[in-house]
Copies of this chain bind each other. A is one copy, B any other.
Amino acid sequence: MPKLWNETIDAHRAAVREAILDTTAKLVAQGGLRSVTMSQIAEQTGIGRATLYKYFADIEAVLRAWHERQVAAHLQQLAGIRDQDGTAMERLRAALEAYAGIARQRHGGELAALLHQGEHVTHAERHLHGMLQHLLAEAVEAGDVRSDVPPAELAQYCLHALTAATALTSQAAVTRLVAVTLDGLRPVP
């Protein structure tokens, strides 16, 4: 049990919630989305089942919250890359590599598809699309990306092409996928 006794009730609740989602993340990574149960989560978080049910009504609610936290963390990671030093093209390349890495972690199956139908994913995808569109427009201006296709469409192309990483089994293949995707962006001679 984490040492939370000196915290306020709110901070305590937030910390327990985070601990539950940390356990969930670990269990999902170990056995996949379908494998996770409320009993496992309670036990490995070091709380009672009754306490867990005060935080989340069922396993779907836990997974949804975990997924929301995951998506938010990925967005933050990509925003960090966007705000790095370097040319637009360098930051674009780094962002696409990071996104391909994220896509590679994506789970398959019906449950994953349902989680991905959530509002938070739609919102995150819109946000991410805006981020890429902005980087692409900068790179077009620098002459590093083709100018015959609107940056908004190029951003859609990138996001979709890189989801092919989900099916890839090696990091080398992911690197090749990013290279091919970037080659599609080259200025037309």
Query: Residues on A close to B: CB < 8 A?
Result: 109-110, 113-114, 116-117, 146, 148-149, 153-154, 156-157, 159-164, 167-168, 173, 176-177, 179-186, 188
Residues of B within 8 A of A181 (CB): 157, 161, 184
Complexed CA–CA distance, A72 and B110 (Å): 22
Interface of A is mostly: helix
Which 4 A-B residue pairs are closest in the complex by CB-CB distance?
A: A184-B184, A161-B161, A160-B164, A156-B164
Which has the most chain B C-beta neighbours within 10 Å: A116, A177, A184? A184
Number of copies: 2
- Considering the chains assembled together, what is the distance between the CA atoms of A66 and B180 in angstroms? 36
Closest to A160 in B: B164
A185 and chain B: residue at smallest CB distance: B180
Q: With A110-B117, A184-B184 in contact, is A176–B164 under 8 Å at CB?
A: no
Residues of B near A185 (CB, < 8 A) are 180
14 chain-A/chain-B pairs, Cβ below 8 angstroms: A113-B116, A113-B117, A146-B183, A149-B176, A153-B164, A153-B173, A156-B167, A157-B164, A159-B164, A161-B161, A161-B164, A161-B181, A180-B184, A184-B184
CA distance A17 to B161 in the complex (A): 38
Q: A116 vs B149: C-alpha distance in the bound complex, in angstroms?
A: 30
Given contacts A146-B180, A148-B176, A156-B177, 10 further A-B contacts (CB under 8 A): A110-B117, A113-B114, A153-B164, A153-B173, A153-B180, A156-B168, A161-B161, A161-B181, A183-B188, A184-B184
